[in-house]
Amino acid sequence: MWVAENWKDYEVIDCSKGEKLERWGDYLLIRPDPQVIWDMPRTHSGWRRHNAHYHRSNKGGGEWEFFRLPEQWEIHYRDLTFHLKPFHFKHTGLFPEQAVNWDWFSSIIKNAHRPVSVLNLFAYTGGATCAAAKAGASVTHVDASKGMVTWAKENARSSGLEEAPIRWIVDDCVKFVEREIRRGRRYDAIIMDPPSYGRGPKGEIWKIEEHIHSFIQLTTQLLSDDPLFVLVNSYTTGLAPAVLTYMLSTTIVPHYNGTVESQEIGLPVRETGLILPCGAAGRWYR
């Protein structure tokens, strides 16, 4: 498993009974997690003295309960700064387990010793965009949600990346990739974090199990003659690491050779020493 263990401002403190207790900077949050199917004593005081608790509804969805939590606050990872705020379906605007991928591709970008262009698809609030830009890459950030792109711009500004070469695109990712192919654009690296299910700005439906393989095949046409890496993230339980390996091996390796590795990604749990699984990632690189 690839573990995001270099955080200072974030940690999973404990996990039990379908929920996790997390520290986000100065604030403690309790959020549901489908991976936490074990039942252990909740001895840490944070279970009783937290700042926010997302309660799942039996009918789907849920709602936040707040205790002395600001509307927005910041946390830092290395030299990056991220704005956080609780919003729909338990999210805060950041997936901290992705830091293990940020470290991986940042090293590749820095060691390339040449200009590197990165395409970040389904780019959300810009964690990977900021990490790649801070490492020295030019980045094209694409997300179908205007609100998420605005949030990503705020994170970039807070991270000192106002003047960084970042293109901000609000668009359906599939349609954008198709247009980039027609334009003859090429990228040295591609990052994608596709949702399990989603809708584009014009109602386009995305189902990851039905579309991800053909989408990887499509994006492969955007790789430059000397590409560096492709990263595919998945939070869908049906896409095991082996499935990510097979897709990358059959779509990219025949054209560019290189190496494919896939693993679960996770976060350390302070109280128990366990690693909380948080999805999977597939990596192709040379």
At 251, which CATH number? 3.40.50.150
Distance of CA 107 to the CA centre of its chain: 17
CATH of the domain at 31: 2.60.40.1180
Residue 85 lies in a domain: no
**How many other C-beta atoms lie within 10 A of the C-beta of residue 236?**
18
At residue 204, the pLDDT reads 67
For the chain, give the number of residues.
286
Tell whether 29 and 152 lie within a shared domain: no
User: φ and ψ at 20, to 5 degrees?
Assistant: -125, 140
Give burial (CB, 10 Å; 0-12/13-18/19+) of 56.
middle
**Does residue 48 sit in the same domain as residue 121?**
no
Domain assignment present for 100: yes
Domain membership flag for residue 261: yes
In angstroms, the Cα distances linking 69 to 26, 50, 93 are: 10, 9, 15
Q: What amino acid occupies position 282?
A: G
Q: Which two tokens stand for residue 64?
A: 């936040």
Distance of alpha carbon 155 from alpha carbon 83, whole angstroms: 6
Q: Within this chain, do residues 64 and 131 fall inside the same structural domain, yes or no? A: no
* Whether residue 207 sits in one domain with residue 100: yes
The reply to whether 122 and 261 lie within a common domain is yes
What was the pLDDT predicted at 201? Answer: 59
Q: CA–CA separation, 226 vs 108, rounded Å? A: 13
82 and 94 Cβ atoms separated by less than 8 Å: yes
**Per-residue DSSP letter, 61:** -
Taking the C-alpha atoms of residue 237 and residue 278, their distance in angstroms, rounded to an integer, is: 10
In a domain, residue 77? The reply is no
| CA neighbor of 135 nearest in space, from 118, 154, 152, 158 | 118
How far lies 286's CA from each of 19, 228, 258, 263, in Å? 39, 6, 4, 18
The pair phi, psi for residue 200, each rounded to 5°, is -80, 175
Same domain, 21 and 136: no
Residues 105 and 237 grouped into a single domain: yes
Do residue 120 and residue 171 come from a single domain?
A: yes
**pLDDT tens, per residue, the chain with 286 residues:** 999 999 999 999 999 999 999 999 999 999 999 999 999 999 999 999 999 999 998 877 899 999 999 999 999 999 999 999 998 789 999 999 999 999 999 999 999 999 999 999 999 999 999 999 999 999 999 999 999 999 999 999 999 999 999 999 999 999 999 999 999 999 999 999 988 776 665 676 767 767 789 999 999 999 999 999 999 999 876 688 999 999 999 999 999 999 999 999 999 999 999 999 999 999 999 9
**Residue 214 in tokens:** 């053909």
Residue type, 250: T
What is the count of structural domains for the chain?
Answer: 2
Q: Say if residues 127 and 93 touch (Cβ distance below 8 Å).
A: no
Quote the CA–CA distance of 265 and 248 in Å, as a whole number: 17
Domain assignment present for residue 184? The answer is yes
Q: Residue 251 sits in which domain range?
A: 96-285
